[in-house]
A = this chain, B = another copy of it.
């Protein structure tokens, strides 16, 4: 094992180029083995093993600065920079994150998880270097898929002319985004590949870059040679490198989309170990939308590079034809384009992760909400129960979206309510609507659910009681239900239970009515308390004698957290809330 000898980058640089080729095989095996047990970004990590070895062979991190875009391809980088044990020893698997993480190593310059950020970050590093007058190399490694993101395009545009010194942008062209690519830039990349970099039009040259084409990006030797040529270059250059996503693992090479991110799998077959049975909200929504599209020819589904995350398989997409629109990594464009479609009679539905909606704040505010255009936004992974990486957690969208005027933000509490809200939103033409897809397991409604949400901000009193009113929003409604039972058992009387449904407004009538028989109002929300739903209730009652206790999450960037622990810490368990109530001494 060559890897046994590699403890830091100086060991790597002692190897011969031939040994580097062997090392690539060892690293690839480690990655496949670990990810088969832990899951993770398989394709991107396998495709870039050779390139990463070459980068660290040629450049001298941490003096030279390397930024990996998204950084879901940084496994080899981590193995080479002192963290190989986290890929060898199963006990240590969880010690490193799936992304670059500046807490782990001086070779990781940032905590990164969102796409398309590397070019601007690298421009900043280069700019500070030039102002200081030092001479380090600055290298950004960006996948072709990430290039369509507005932030990357802004950075690409800027770097070609406004960085005067060294800036080395490696475009890792594996001809794939998460799914297939969309956009004109990919047409140009293809022309460049087809002509070995000689095409008449070259977007990188057009933007002011020097340009160098490397056909065999999975060839360590050629990569080393290429990088040696550009090391210490005194101007911005794009190295356009062709690699294969999933390289070296046949199943991943053949199934690039579904192995982009994969759950634990059998190495022999590539198949995931745990096949999901039972209902899942992504499938529920997909099936509903496919039926809806059959009935209404104006409905169209938009995604930004993540069709599979929403369970739209290649087959589904083909069946839907032009009405399934993947814009690639371009969330700003997706929301603005949806606004344009709505203005011309279309009924667009755009879905993405809570944390990716952060890229579209301005489009939601300006294009959608100022114009009151009837677009349906589905906010997925908006929950403490969803992704636990700091860069992808979904607990900030309530404070971000719900304070934008004119937006109707709805929080369904079960399957039937969810679909009724989606259908209402698609059919109406008055409001921009966002719907917070549930994430706490699939629950069924206990009776008929409301079909018409046109009259805004009407809370649903599920149970009329006394003393305590529990207003339990969306995903945390089921905790509210449990709490009701426990209060009954503990105190001998029934509290009131409310499903508020609307995140974006107050039902003054219902809230006023609570003043009669209640001393305490409890709110529960699956998001941070700061700027959230509960604070609006606290404000409403702030000049009355009723007490208000808000339950939700603390404003912080949790990272790879244990859900149970976080729930406990934030008192989001019925038993702990009962203790809190007892402590209040009100009853």
| CB within 8 Å of B: which A330-375 residues | 330, 332-333, 336-346, 348, 358-359, 361-363, 365-367, 369-371
Of the listed stretches A53-61, A196-204, A261-269, chain B binds A196-204
Task: Please measure, in the bound complex, the distance between the C-alpha atom of A336 and the C-alpha atom of B158, giving whole angstroms.
Answer: 12
Q: Does A130 contact B (CB under 8 A)?
A: yes
Find A127's partner among B187, B200, B346, B406 (CB 8 Å cutoff).
Answer: B346
**Neighbouring B residues of A125 by C-beta, 8 Å:** 340-341, 343-344
Taking the closest CB of chain B, its distance from the CB of A189, in whole angstroms, is 10
A124, A131, A208, A528 — which one has the most chain B CB atoms within 10 A of its CB? A124
Query: Do A117 and B367 contact each other (CB < 8 Å), given the known contacts A337-B158, A403-B399?
Result: yes
Copies of this protein in the assembly total 2
User: Does A366 contact B391, Cβ atoms closer than 8 Å?
Assistant: yes
Q: Does A50 contact B (CB under 8 A)?
A: no
Taking the closest CB of chain B, its distance from the CB of A240, in whole angstroms, is 13
Query: Do A555 and B403 contact each other (CB < 8 Å), given the known contacts A183-B161, A362-B359?
Result: yes
Q: Does A539 contact B (CB under 8 A)?
A: yes
A126, A203, A345, A363 — which one has the most chain B CB atoms within 10 A of its CB? A203
Task: Please measure, in the bound complex, the distance between the C-alpha atom of A530 and the C-alpha atom of B338, giving whole angstroms.
Answer: 26
Q: Does A182 contact B (CB under 8 A)?
A: yes
Taking the closest CB of chain B, its distance from the CB of A246, in whole angstroms, is 25
Find A358's partner among B159, B203, B361, B402 (CB 8 Å cutoff).
Answer: B361
**Neighbouring B residues of A112 by C-beta, 8 Å:** 366
Find A157's partner among B129, B185, B370, B391 (CB 8 Å cutoff).
Answer: B185
| CB within 8 Å of B: which A119-148 residues | 120-132, 148
| CB within 8 Å of B: which A492-529 residues | 528-529
Q: Does A227 contact B (CB under 8 A)?
A: no
Nearest residue (CB) in B for A506 is B530
Task: Please measure, in the bound complex, the distance between the C-alpha atom of A244 and the C-alpha atom of B355, giving whole angstroms.
Answer: 42
Q: Does A149 contact B (CB under 8 A)?
A: yes
**Neighbouring B residues of A228 by C-beta, 8 Å:** none
User: Does A405 contact B206, Cβ atoms closer than 8 Å?
Assistant: no
Taking the closest CB of chain B, its distance from the CB of A103, in whole angstroms, is 10
User: Does A162 contact B182, Cβ atoms closer than 8 Å?
Assistant: yes
Taking the closest CB of chain B, its distance from the CB of A352, in whole angstroms, is 12
Taking the closest CB of chain B, its distance from the CB of A142, in whole angstroms, is 13
Q: Does A114 contact B (CB under 8 A)?
A: yes
User: Does A543 contact B584, Cβ atoms closer than 8 Å?
Assistant: yes
| CB within 8 Å of B: which A287-343 residues | 297-298, 300, 322-323, 325, 327-328, 330, 332-333, 336-343
A127, A182, A300, A528 — which one has the most chain B CB atoms within 10 A of its CB? A127
Q: Does A111 contact B (CB under 8 A)?
A: yes
Find A405's partner among B111, B160, B555 (CB 8 Å cutoff).
Answer: B555
**Neighbouring B residues of A102 by C-beta, 8 Å:** 371
Nearest residue (CB) in B for A123 is B337
User: Does A538 contact B542, Cβ atoms closer than 8 Å?
Assistant: yes
**Neighbouring B residues of A194 by C-beta, 8 Å:** none
Nearest residue (CB) in B for A140 is B340
Q: Does A251 contact B (CB under 8 A)?
A: no
User: Does A124 contact B403, Cβ atoms closer than 8 Å?
Assistant: no
Q: Does A270 contact B (CB under 8 A)?
A: no
Task: Please measure, in the bound complex, the distance between the C-alpha atom of A184 and the C-alpha atom of B124, giving whole angstroms.
Answer: 16
User: Does B548 contact A120, Cβ atoms closer than 8 Å?
Assistant: no
Task: Please measure, in the bound complex, the distance between the C-alpha atom of A432 and the C-alpha atom of B184, giving whole angstroms.
Answer: 36
Task: Please measure, in the bound complex, the distance between the C-alpha atom of A532 and the C-alpha atom of B391, giving whole angstroms.
Answer: 24
Query: Do A396 and B365 contact each other (CB < 8 Å), given the known contacts A343-B125, A402-B531, A539-B538?
Result: yes
User: Does A333 contact B123, Cβ atoms closer than 8 Å?
Assistant: yes
Interface string of A532-549 (1 = CB under 8 A from B): 101110110111010111
Q: Does A209 contact B (CB under 8 A)?
A: yes
**Neighbouring B residues of A358 by C-beta, 8 Å:** 361-362, 365-366
Task: Please measure, in the bound complex, the distance between the C-alpha atom of A406 and the C-alpha atom of B548, giving whole angstroms.
Answer: 27
**Neighbouring B residues of A406 by C-beta, 8 Å:** 557
Nearest residue (CB) in B for A580 is B543
A and B contact pairs by CB, cutoff 8 A, 14 listed: A120-B333, A123-B333, A125-B341, A130-B322, A131-B300, A154-B183, A158-B183, A185-B207, A202-B206, A359-B361, A369-B557, A402-B530, A529-B539, A542-B550
- Chain A residues in the interface with B (C-beta under 8 A): 65, 67, 102, 109-114, 117, 120-132, 148-151, 153-162, 182-188, 200-203, 205-209, 297-298, 300, 322-323, 325, 327-328, 330, 332-333, 336-346, 348, 358-359, 361-363, 365-367, 369-371, 390-391, 396, 399-400, 402-406, 528-532, 534-536, 538-539, 541-543, 545, 547-550, 555-557, 584
With A124-B340, A201-B202, A535-B539 given, name 5 new contacts (CB 8 A). Answer: A150-B154, A154-B327, A201-B201, A370-B390, A543-B584
- In order of increasing CB-CB distance, the 6 nearest A-B pairs are A124-B340, A150-B150, A184-B207, A160-B184, A120-B336, A128-B346
